[in-house]
Amino acid sequence: MGKKEEEEIIRIAKKMDKMAQKKNGSGALDLLKELKNIPMTLELLQSTRIGMSVNAIRKQSTDEEVTSLAKSLIKSWKKLLDEPSGGDKTSEEKKKEPTTPVLSPSQGSPEPREESSSSNSSGKSEPTDVTTNSLISTFPRAPGTSDSVRLKCREMLSSALNTGGKVTGALECDSNLKPIVLARIYSMSKSTFQLLNQTARIFLEFKNTDIKYKNRVRSRISNLKDAKNPNLRRNVLCGNVPPNRIAKMTAEMRAVLMRCESCQEMASDELKEMRKNLTKEAIRDHQMAKTGGTQTDLFTCGKCKKKKCTYTQVQTRSADEPMTTFVFCNECGNRWKASQKSMFSSLNSVRRNCRKALRPAGPHISLSKDCPHKPYFKMDIRGAVDAAVPTNIIAAKAAEVRANKVNWQSYLQGQMISGEDCEFIKKFEVASSDQKQAILTKEGHQCAKTFLNLMAHISKEQTVQYILTLIDDTLQENHQRVNIFFDYAKKTKNTAWSYFLPMLNRQDLFTVHMAARIIAKLAAWGRDLMEGSDLNYYFNWIKTQLSSQKLHGTETGTGTISPSESSQYVQCVAGCLQLMLRVNEYRFAWFEADGVNCITAVLSNKCGFQLQYQMIFCVWLLAFSPQLCEQLRRYNAVPALSDILQESVKEKVTRIILAAFRNLLEKSAERETRQEYALAMIQCKVLKQLENLDQQKYDDEDITDDIKFLLERLGESVQDLSSFDEYSSELKSGRLEWSPVHKSEKFWRENAVRLNEKNYELLKILTRLLEVSDDPQVIAVAAHDVGEYVRHYPRGKRVIEQLGGKQLVMNHMHHEDQLVRYNALLAVQKLMVHNWEYLGKQLQSTEQTTPAVAARS
């Protein structure tokens, strides 16, 4: 009987499903009447799912009789839920059972009811009236509370479990509440009710219902309602996820089911296969993962022999050494570290291709060692390699920026740029060198206008970097192209560099330094000179950047960039200064801005050899002006350069130092100035270093010529050198030693008065050393010389006192160094005692009597 009825119900259910799909309700009333006559059990409801079909007909039908009959059937089937658990109990036994929470069909979850102690003084609970639409479940009561916040939280949590009146997540169905759905939900209602009880656990954790309690409950509700994570609500209702875990769960709640083994077991075979494939793909992607780099065909993979590679450069050594190049094959995933030999081999290959491509006509490619702008070797042929391996961080970043093309169409659609600018930049960036030259010859005004409009209207950092790199490359290919910006600026009544100066205040270092390079090129190669406030602003910015080198030299890399990176950015700034000082007018402006003092400060900071070379290059450029040679004497450039020459191991640094020395001796207009420079070099032992260098062989003829010139000039100066010249040179160098002249009685007797020459120039230097020097030997010698001066020239006591030397010497009487204290004490005695000969006799008699007294004792 049961099997026959099941087949009949299945037949009716199929017909109803077809009606629901076709949205045709004709004949539905007859089918419902047949169902009414069939005896229904809970097993038949669960196995045939007839309730879902009946509910679908009820929703779609417009016939009131059909709707009414469907509702009547659903209502009668709900009563079957009482029979499995307590159908054999009498009504009196049911009345004796304790009151339990009532589950309303509208809520789809149990709602605990509060009991009042005053409602039943005898302590016996009254039975709760249950309507025909209510179902009673027999699990423990939730902890009682009268807190409105907690009650509201329970209500919201209950609503979240039955989101929108639907339980699709719980039973994997797409329709509204159906009898079979209710049957299965209520069979799992114990887990659901326990979940509501966890609000009490949350309350016990926080001890109140403040913002923490509310946030915890809100997070549970939002995750249960999350349409992107239906598995969570399904597994909570089914009991796969314990309710106490929901109360404690943190941010993992959204993805808990993806890690749940039971969930993996419930997945279909198709889903399991898909997950397996995704896992394999993820592992393969992880194994072939690579950091962002620059694509190139300079390298050949040793595994697959293909040239589709991506290289990344990292500063693994000091800032002055080349960066280490790591290469990744885009075809097979092979990784390796490129050696210097392979890099130079690739570079030579690029050069050979260039020569072939540019023959017989083409622009000259300079690889001069003295050129400050040589970060990369650029080709003029499209389709070949755009750049060889960069040698510093600026060039590496520029190569990466060039590789990342900009989607100009998106800016046009966003109305950020005009159609004219979009069309021009798309045409210009893909053109070859010859095509660019033709475009600039014909549309130079439009080119400058487009570049400056893009800079003004686009704020995205990556796009601004791309625009600046494109401008820099354009100017580097042909220096005459700077005139297009001057022509455009003249029509707009601005200066060419006024568009780039504001970019020096941006946060991104690459953007700032690319703008600085462009300003330097415009100022050095343009037909107009930078003047006034613009020049002062630019030079002050350069001084600030160079001064920061002193800080970067001692930091440990705790900032936003490492010391090696900051050092390379400072080298870029030095390159801009090198370019500017090629123009004579800018040399005087730099000197007036106290730029020489900034250069000497960097040189005394023990910077890397590349920055040393660049700073000495600037000194060499300044020495081309005879007027500046006269002024450079007071900055003690010779001692700083001689120290670097003594420690230098790089040929290019030695070459530029010798060239700077030669300029100082050759370009100075006054004979006295030349003699002073020569004496300073002799005092700093440059002559001895030149003799050592002359024993070596050099491929560079300039080095050999400069060594011979300097040896000849310094040799002549040595022959004419007097003891006073030697003392004067030593004093001006600021490096006092216990040389013979300091302790020579004859020297002080003959030359003490000469310290008053040129308005006490040498005495002022002597007192200055007492004030600022940190070297104990320099202080001791200076104090000794002050004493000898006043001893042999008694009128000098007032001069020393007026210059502040007396007080300085007295301050050093408490110096930590014993030799300094001794010479300061002697100098003070010489300043105080008028009859120095009498004091000398007293000292001699004291020295003679002291041993006799010691013998008698």
Contact 729, 686 (CB under 8 A): no
Calpha distance 196→203 (Å, rounded): 12
Q: Highest-confidence range of 62-76, 212-226, 735-749, by mean pLDDT?
A: 62-76
241 has a pLDDT exceeding 60: yes
Predicted confidence (pLDDT) per residue in 27-66, tens digit: 888 888 888 888 888 888 878 888 888 888 888 888 888 8
**Looking at residue 582, what is its pLDDT?**
92
Of 387, 305, 307, 401, give the one whose Cα is nearest residue 347.
387
Calpha distance 116→119 (Å, rounded): 5
477 has a pLDDT exceeding 60: yes
Which H, E and C letters describe 273-295, residue by residue? HHHHHHHHHHHHHHHCCCCCCEE
Q: Tell me which of 335-344, 375-384, 823-832 is least confident.
A: 375-384
**Looking at residue 745, what is its pLDDT?**
80
Laid out side by side, the sheet with 135-136 consists of: 110-111, 102-103, 135-136
Computed from CA positions of residues 844, 845, 846, 847, in that sequence, does the dihedral angle turn out positive or negative?
Answer: positive
At residue 176 the predicted structure's pLDDT band, cuts being 50, 70 and 90, is very low
Task: Give me the CATH code for the 297-394 domain, please.
Answer: 2.20.25.10
Q: Tell me which of 47-61, 286-300, 600-614 is least confident.
A: 286-300
If one compares 791 and 275, the residue with the highest pLDDT of the two is 791
Q: What angle do CA 576, 577, 583 make, to 5 degrees?
A: 105
**Looking at residue 326, what is its pLDDT?**
83
Calpha distance 628→617 (Å, rounded): 15
518 has a pLDDT exceeding 90: yes
Q: What angle do CA 16, 22, 28 make, to 5 degrees?
A: 35
190 has a pLDDT exceeding 70: no
CA 605 to chain centre: 26
If one compares 684 and 118, the residue with the highest pLDDT of the two is 684
**Looking at residue 133, what is its pLDDT?**
42
At residue 356 the predicted structure's pLDDT band, cuts being 50, 70 and 90, is very low
Calpha distance 602→472 (Å, rounded): 27
Domains of the chain by residue range: 2-83, 98-112+132-266, 297-394, 405-511, 752-856
Amino acid at 500: F
Q: Mean pLDDT score of the chain, rounded to an integer?
A: 73
Q: Highest-confidence range of 338-347, 455-464, 640-649, by mean pLDDT?
A: 455-464
Amino acid at 228: K
CATH of 2-83, one of 1.10.3470.10, 3.40.50.2000, 1.20.930.10, 3.40.50.720: 1.20.930.10
Kindly report the number of other CB atoms within 10 A of residue 239's CB atom. 14
838 has a pLDDT exceeding 90: no
323 has a pLDDT exceeding 50: yes
**Looking at residue 91, what is its pLDDT?**
42
Which whole-number Å values give the CA distances from 298 to 260, 294, 331, 376, in the listed order? Answer: 49, 11, 15, 14
Question: Helix or strand or coil: residue 325?
Answer: strand
Predicted confidence (pLDDT) per residue in 70-79, tens digit: 888 888 887 7
319 has a pLDDT exceeding 80: no
Rounded to an integer, the average pLDDT of 523-552 is 84
Calpha distance 333→548 (Å, rounded): 42
Q: Confirm or reject CATH 1.20.1250.20 for domain 752-856, answering yes or no.
A: no
**Looking at residue 75, what is its pLDDT?**
83
Hunting for tokens 């206008």 — which residue is that?
449
**Looking at residue 64, what is its pLDDT?**
84
Calpha distance 187→185 (Å, rounded): 5
**Looking at residue 647, what is its pLDDT?**
84
At residue 581 the predicted structure's pLDDT band, cuts being 50, 70 and 90, is very high
Rounded to an integer, the average pLDDT of 145-167 is 72
Q: Tell me which of 177-186, 216-225, 423-432 is least confident.
A: 177-186
**Looking at residue 339, what is its pLDDT?**
62
Q: What is the pTM of this model?
A: 0.50
Calpha distance 855→848 (Å, rounded): 12
CA 842 to chain centre: 73
Calpha distance 70→176 (Å, rounded): 14
If one compares 110 and 3, the residue with the highest pLDDT of the two is 3
Peptide bond into 360 cis (omega under 30): yes
Calpha distance 809→824 (Å, rounded): 6
HSE-up of residue 106 (Cα within 13 Å, Cβ side): 1
Calpha distance 760→754 (Å, rounded): 9
Torsion of CA 551, 555, 559, 562, to 10 degrees: 100
Predicted confidence (pLDDT) per residue in 690-706, tens digit: 888 888 888 888 888 88
849 has a pLDDT exceeding 60: no
Whole-number CA gyration radius for the chain? 46
If one compares 460 and 245, the residue with the highest pLDDT of the two is 460
Hunting for tokens 């509910």 — which residue is that?
55
Q: Highest-confidence range of 275-284, 286-295, 821-830, by mean pLDDT?
A: 821-830
**Looking at residue 277, what is its pLDDT?**
75
At residue 81 the predicted structure's pLDDT band, cuts being 50, 70 and 90, is low
HSE-up of residue 403 (Cα within 13 Å, Cβ side): 18
If one compares 231 and 1, the residue with the highest pLDDT of the two is 231
**Looking at residue 542, what is its pLDDT?**
92
**Looking at residue 585, what is its pLDDT?**
92
130 has a pLDDT exceeding 90: no
If one compares 165 and 24, the residue with the highest pLDDT of the two is 24
734 has a pLDDT exceeding 90: no
At residue 183 the predicted structure's pLDDT band, cuts being 50, 70 and 90, is very low
139 has a pLDDT exceeding 70: no
**Looking at residue 122, what is its pLDDT?**
40
Q: Tell me which of 13-22, 214-223, 244-253, 534-543 is least confident.
A: 244-253
Burial class (CB in 10 A: 0-12, 13-18, 19+), 537: middle
Which whole-number Å values give the CA distances from 389 to 296, 343, 344, 345, 397, in the listed order? Answer: 9, 7, 9, 11, 11
As given in the structure block, the two tokens for residue 290 are: 């690579």
Strands 324-329 and 309-314, by their bridges, are: antiparallel
At residue 68 the predicted structure's pLDDT band, cuts being 50, 70 and 90, is confident
| Chain length of the chain | 857
**Looking at residue 368, what is its pLDDT?**
37
At residue 180 the predicted structure's pLDDT band, cuts being 50, 70 and 90, is very low
Counting residues of the chain whose pLDDT is more than 70, the rounded percentage is: 69
Of 123, 108, 249, give the one whose Cα is nearest residue 179.
108
